[in-house]
């Protein structure tokens, strides 16, 4: 098995665990409202203590994303945001000293179109540390898993509430970096409460894997982050952040970055 101990995601969770801490993983749509703004938000979030951030690669037909993220993808695509332009932005972030771990959320159709080996190598070269391919079934994921490991990328898979218990365990065995547990079935979106079954399920999954577990889908407040992190290593927040980007996208860039950063800072407060 490829040694991923120097991978930023693996190192981040090792350091967090050693300190007895948890984290928030923000999700940003790459290129929304523009790539320069995304780069500025990455730098700001790192300065606020974020260790790992997801970047969604815009796609015309996302699988599990709700209307807020879908709309952001549509706008980004309208301005000709491509994987290569996202890679260039990430490369510039790294060249500027950025050290936060980055995870690409990308449809397999994009990966396939470029050629999986080529796409993964380019993502790693640009500065990504892991990838999530949400529309790739476990039975077909072996090839990507091997390529990711050989390239130095963590391979992160999703587990849904509807996934049978034994299948959940199988999925964790193919995950590196962290396991993405979906708190609810269906699509992303802000929610006022999380189902108690999700918290119990993460606790049960913990008995079968030492790989960090992060919970996403529906998390939108510091209180929800705190609840999730009683059992999970991290809370993933997407729609609530993209919603705030949408609200401030026409404001001066520094105001947009500050608004998003303040919200993420508030989410981080219970676990810092």
What amino acid positions are annotated as catalytic residues? Answer: 54, 65
- Rg of the chain over Cα atoms, rounded to whole angstroms, equals 17
Contact yes or no for 221/99 (Cβ under 8 A): no
Q: CB of 35 within 8 A of CB of 86?
A: yes
Distance between CA atoms of residues 185 and 163, nearest Å: 10
Q: Could you give the strand order of the β-sheet that contains 52-56, starting from the edge strand earlier in sequence?
A: 154-156, 130-132, 101-105, 52-56, 23-29, 234-237, 213-216, 179-182, 158-159
Q: What is the Cα–Cα distance from 131 to 105, expressed in whole angstroms?
A: 6
Residues 149 and 176 sit within 8 Å (Cβ to Cβ):
yes
Residues 6+ apart with CB under 8 A from 123: 87, 104, 131, 151, 153
Alpha carbons 82 and 59: distance in angstroms, whole number: 9
Residue 27: both structure tokens together = 């999700």
């Amino acid at each position: 098995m490829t040694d991923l101990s120097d991978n930023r995601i693996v190192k981040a969770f090792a350091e967090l665990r050693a300190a007895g801490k948890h984290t928030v993983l923000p999700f940003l749509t790459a290129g929304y409202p523009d790539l320069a703004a995304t780069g500025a938000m990455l730098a700001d979030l790192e300065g606020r203590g974020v260790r790992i951030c997801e970047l969604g690669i815009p796609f015309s037909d996302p699988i599990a994303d709700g209307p807020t993220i879908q709309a952001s993808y549509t706008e980004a695509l309208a301005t000709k945001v491509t994987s290569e332009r996202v890679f260039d932005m990430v490369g510039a972030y790294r060249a500027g000293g950025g050290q936060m771990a980055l995870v690409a959320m990308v449809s397999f159709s994009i990966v396939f179109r470029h050629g999986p080996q080529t796409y993964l190598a380019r993502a790693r070269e640009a500065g990504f540390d892991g990838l999530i391919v949400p529309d790739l079934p476990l039975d077909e994921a072996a090839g990507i898993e091997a390529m990711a490991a050989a390239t130095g990328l963590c391979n992160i898979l999703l587990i849904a509430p509807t996934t049978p218990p034994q299948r959940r365990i199988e999925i964790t065995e193919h995950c590196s970096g962290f396991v993405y547990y979906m708190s609810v079935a269906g699509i992303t979106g802000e929610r006022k409460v999380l189902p108690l079954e999700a918290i119990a399920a993460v606790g049960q999954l913990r008995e079968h894997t030492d790989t960090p577990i992060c919970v996403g889908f529906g998390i939108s407040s510091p209180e929800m982050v705190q609840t999730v992190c009683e059992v999970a290593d991290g809370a993933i927040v997407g729609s609530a952040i993209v919603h705030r980007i949408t609200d401030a996208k026409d404001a001066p860039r520094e105001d947009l970055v500050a608004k998003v950063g303040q919200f993420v800072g508030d989410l981080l407060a219970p676990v810092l």
